[in-house]
Amino acid sequence: MQRRLKKPVIYVIYGLSFCLLLGGIILLELSASRSKMESDTQDSDYQYVSETVLDDDKKKEEEVPVVASKVSIIRPYNDQDVKIVKNYYDYKASEDEQKKSIIYYENTYMPSSGVSYGKGDSFDVVAILDGTVVDVKEDTTYGNIIKLEHDKKIVSLYESVTDIKVKKGDTVKQGDIIAKSSTSNLSSDLGNHLYFELAVDGNTVNPENYYDKLVDEL
C-alpha cells in the first residue's frame, strides 16, 4: 500500500525546489555578470594601452619640434649671373692676385677686406643667414651700408646698396631680400655692384671660403 504525502509536506518540497532553482539562476546570473565585468575590464585595459599610452607617445612625437636641418651660409645674392668683380685681398695670394684685390681711391691704395659682386645692372641683395639688423646708414663714399649680426658671432656687411628694405632692430630670415645693389664713390670703376664683407668671431674673412659651410662647424 503506497503512502501518500500530506499536502503541507508537498508544499514545503515545492517551495524548497523553487528556492533551489531560483538560487541556481541567481548564481548563474552573478557568474555571468562577473565574467562580463572581467571581460570588460580586460577590454578597457587594452583600450587604455592602445588609445592612451600609445596615443600619448604619438602626441609627444608630434609635439616635439622637428630638429631643423643644419644651416649653411648662402651667398648674398640669388642671381646666377652675378660674378666677382673684385676679390678679397689675401696676403698669401700671388702678387698678381693681390694687385686685382686693391682698391684705389683718391690717390690711396687699400686692400679689399671683402668681395665685390656685379653683373652690369642692379640685382637683389639677400641675407646670408637669419639675423638682426644692427646698423643701416647712408655713406657717400662707401654707398649705403647694412650690417647684420647672426648666431655663432657671425657678422655680415653689405655696402653699395640702395632700395633698402630693412631698418635697425629688424630681424631677417636667410634669403630675405634686404636691398638692391648700387654704386659707390669708393669703387666707381666697378659700376653697379655689391661690396660684401664677412666677419667670424671678430675676424674679417674671405667670404668665398665660407659659402655653403655649416654654421655649426665654424
pTM: 0.68
Mean pLDDT (the chain) is 82
pLDDT over threshold 90, residue 89: yes
pLDDT over threshold 80, residue 31: no
For position 4, what pLDDT does the model report? 52
Lowest mean pLDDT among 9-13, 17-21, 76-80, 182-186: 9-13
Percent pLDDT > 90 in the chain is 59
Inter-residue contact 107 to 97 (CB < 8 Å): no
For position 49, what pLDDT does the model report? 42
For position 53, what pLDDT does the model report? 41
